[in-house]
Amino acid sequence: MAIYDEKQSALTWVDDNRATLSDWHATIWDFHEPAWREYKSAAWYADRLRQEGFEVEEGSGGMPTAFCATWQNGDGPTIGSYAEYDAVPGNCQDRVPYQKPRDGVHRAAAGHTDPHSALGMAALGGILAAKAAMESHGIKGRLKFMGEPAEKVCGSKPVHAAKGYYDDMDAAVSFHPSYGTLRANTAIWDTHCGSYWSCIYTFDCEEPETWRGMVATGGSSAHTVARAPGANDALCLMYTTTKYTKESMLPHTGTWTLNEAILGTGDATSDNLAPRFSQIQYSWRSPDLKMQQRIAEVLDQNAEHVAAMTHCRVTKAWVTKTRVGLPNHAMARLCYRNLELVGPPQFDDDAIAFCREMQENLGFEPMEQPLLDEMVTLNDPEDGEAQLRQQLPPWQLNYTSDDYVDWTWHTPTVRLIVGRCTLKAPKAGYDYPAWSWNALGGYAPTIDPTVICAAKTIGATVIDLLTQPEELDKARAEFEERTGGGRGGAKWVPPLLPPDFDPPVGFHWPEYVTTVRGEEWYVPVTA
């Protein structure tokens, strides 16, 4: 693919702003805020985009840490992309080649794993690079950049989709740093991510004194009266009942998972009084929506039964419901040609030295070349697809989960994957500890090459879509065919959440809090 002047301007902008993008990435990485609580990160993006001339709607879709930013240069196509910026509790590794939590925070605090800090910064870099080229060459069009919080619970994109935020886009680029050896430095061809659903069951013991008529009367003491099982028992029974019934939910085929998290309880109570309140969250992933619905039905039945057993009332709140990914070969091929033009990320001597020191600290002989070859070489989309299909049953059309899939049903979307610094295993079957993966995502020499490569590829792809109408026409035609007529077509799957959905921001999600003791993780630093 040739580099014409407009595209060269986008690539040059990224080169000229390498240090700036690195500093910006460090800022978001240092915020390390978890899902639904990314207040500083979202505010930083909103302020930065306004300084770049974008109009910004903060709190888009009713989500306090979401945003929608637009910039227009005359009439033309609208091309979209997005940032994510949520971190993961329990992963607060510092940017050093040995295990060490960040200074000043509890060991359970959040940290970037994938890292979403790099995901968002690469997408922002690509959009700003395209904007610079549009201004320099008078390219007509509109850029739309979304702030998507809580991806770790697939939270915001189904909400934005249900509320119509994606309906005005002509095409979009979704980016993620690589998360395995398969399909790195490529664009996803056919097997996009599957579906992710999540809900919260709340158990309330509202009238414990009416437990089977065992009320205190006359001079009886509450200490001698039967206590209702209450909300803690409901939570425990929900946990164990679901464990027992998990194997009966679906056949033993395909890749599906079901996991739980205990969000909150009524906290301490007198030993003779029934616990009044508890919550448990379930999240499940599978390749198709029928499987998702089956799991949901079993969970609902379990919740109703344990509530009845424990003298509780149960209520259910959806956290998210995503669709499955819709391919677009035209977008994948266009984006991959730009990745070929840019070339895969390359890691310098500082990155190699950091990796070798990490291996030594883990007790291994440092390798001369410690990085996986897959991270620094290109992988054609169709080759990557063939490699993955060898591991999946023929009937399975989708794999793993990510909420970008909701973009794919509203506009032609490409899923770009760029390699990130990943160490070679010193022996067969060895997995590096999670802290090492997190550290590599925070140290500039080991993460900046991924950000720069992705930013260039995104910027170049956006410019192609704005200046080569035949490329956009091919993508749109394929989208119309796959959906049976576009949004609302015969094969189109509408959003699974209603337009009036209330985002689940009020639950007991982990976060940083400010008390008279100062700012701290919600687990006290003195614990």
In this structure, the answer to whether residues 14 and 155 fall within a common structural domain is: yes
Q: Mean of the per-residue pLDDT values for the chain?
A: 94
% of the chain at pLDDT higher than 90 = 86
Instruction: List pLDDT tens digits, range 287-315.
Output: 999 999 999 999 999 999 999 999 999 99
Say if residue 270's pLDDT is above 90: no
Residues 414 and 479 in one domain: yes
Q: Report the pLDDT averaged over residues 69-77.
A: 98
The residue assigned the tokens 């949004």 is 487
Per DSSP bridges, beta strands 518-521 and 512-515 are antiparallel
Taking 80 as the threshold, does the pLDDT of residue 221 lie above it?
A: no
CATH, residue 367: 3.40.630.10
Q: Is 169 exposed, middle or buried (0-12, 13-18, 19+ CB in 10 A)?
A: buried
Q: Is 490 a domain residue?
A: no
Nearest-angstrom CA–CA distance, 212 and 221: 17
- Which one of 321, 351, 366 terminates a domain? 321
> Is 336 in the same domain as 479?
yes
Report pLDDT for 63: 98
The tens digit of pLDDT for each residue in 376-418 reads 999 999 999 999 999 999 999 999 999 999 999 999 999 999 9
Question: What order of strands is seen across the sheet that includes strand 186-187?
Answer: 55-58, 67-73, 141-147, 78-83, 171-177, 413-418, 186-187
Name which of 337, 475, 329, 333 is nearest 3 in CA terms.
337
pLDDT band, very low/low/confident/very high, at 483 (cuts 50, 70, 90): very high
Mean pLDDT of all residues in 40-63? 98
Mean pLDDT, residues 355-379: 97
475 in any annotated domain: yes
pLDDT of residue 524: 59
Averaged pLDDT for residues 79-84: 98
- Six-digit token pair at 87? 């971190």
Decide the pairing of beta strands 277-286 and 195-204.
Answer: antiparallel
Q: How far apart are CA 289 and CA 297, in angstroms?
A: 12
Total domain count, the chain: 2
Other Cβ atoms within 10 Å of 382 Cβ, number = 15
Is 507 within a domain? no
Name the domain boundary from 293, 321, 349: 321
From the list 358, 348, 327, 508, the residue with the least C-alpha distance to 433 is 358
Residues 6 or more apart whose Cβ sits within 8 Å of residue 430: none
pTM above 0.85, yes or no: yes
Judged against a pLDDT cut of 80, whether residue 522 lies above it is answered with: no
The closest of 149, 143, 175 to 54, measured between CA atoms, is 143
401-to-4, 266, 478 alpha-carbon distances in Å? 37, 32, 23
Pair (391, 456) in one structural domain: yes
511 burial type by CB count under 10 A (0-12 exposed, 13-18 middle, 19+ buried): middle
Q: Is 495 inside any structural domain? A: no
In this prediction, residue 343 has a pLDDT band, given cuts at 50, 70 and 90, of: very high
Q: Do 76 and 104 share a structural domain?
A: yes
Q: For residue 487, what pLDDT is reported? A: 96
CATH at 224: 3.30.70.360
User: For 158-200, what is each residue's pLDDT tens digit?
Assistant: 999 999 999 999 999 999 999 888 889 999 999 999 999 999 9
- What's residue 272's pLDDT? 78
Q: 441-451 pLDDT, tens per residue?
A: 999 999 999 99
Distances (CA, A) of 358 to 95, 351, 449: 11, 11, 19
Cα–Cα dist 313/306, whole Å = 10
- 332 and 444, same domain (yes or no): yes
| Neighbour-count burial for 90-112, b at 16+ CB within 10 Å, e otherwise | ebbbbbbbebebbeebbeebbbb
Q: Which structural domain range is residue 293 located in?
A: 196-321
| Residue 510 in domain | no
Tokens of 41: 């990160």
Q: Note whether residue 491 is domain-resident.
A: no
Tell me the per-residue pLDDT of 11-24, one tens digit each, with 9 for 90 and over.
Answer: 999 999 999 999 99
Could you say which DSSP state residue 290 is in? H
Mark whether 385 and 314 lie in a shared domain.
Answer: no
Look at the block and give the residue holding tokens 């700036």.
Answer: 20
* DSSP symbol at 17: T
Helix (H, G, I), strand (E, B), or coil: what is residue 153? helix
- Predicted local distance difference test score (pLDDT) of residue 466: 98
Choosing from 276, 304, 321, the residue where a domain stops is 321
Q: Are residues 218 and 143 in the same domain?
A: no
Q: Residues 6 or more apart from 428 whose CB is under 8 A from it?
A: none
Q: What is the structure's pLDDT at 131?
A: 98
The pLDDT of 357-365, averaged and rounded, is 97
CA gap 465, 414 in Å, rounded: 12
Both 302 and 338 in one domain: the answer is no
- The mean pLDDT value for 327-339 works out to 98
Q: Looking at residue 527, what is its pLDDT?
A: 40
Among residues 521, 488, 475, the alpha carbon closest in space to that of 172 is found at 475
Note the pLDDT of residue 525: 57
Q: Is the pLDDT of residue 122 over 70?
A: yes
**Contact by Cβ (8 Å): 454, 415:** no
Taking residue 503's Cβ as centre, other Cβ atoms within 10 Å add up to 24
- The token duo for 515 is 């008390």
Q: Do 471 and 402 fall into the same domain?
A: yes
Question: Is 496 inside any structural domain?
Answer: no
Q: Same domain, yes or no, for 73 and 164?
A: yes
Q: Are residues 316 and 349 located together in one domain of the fold? A: no
Beta pairing partners, 83 = 147
- Indicate whether 76 belongs to any domain: yes
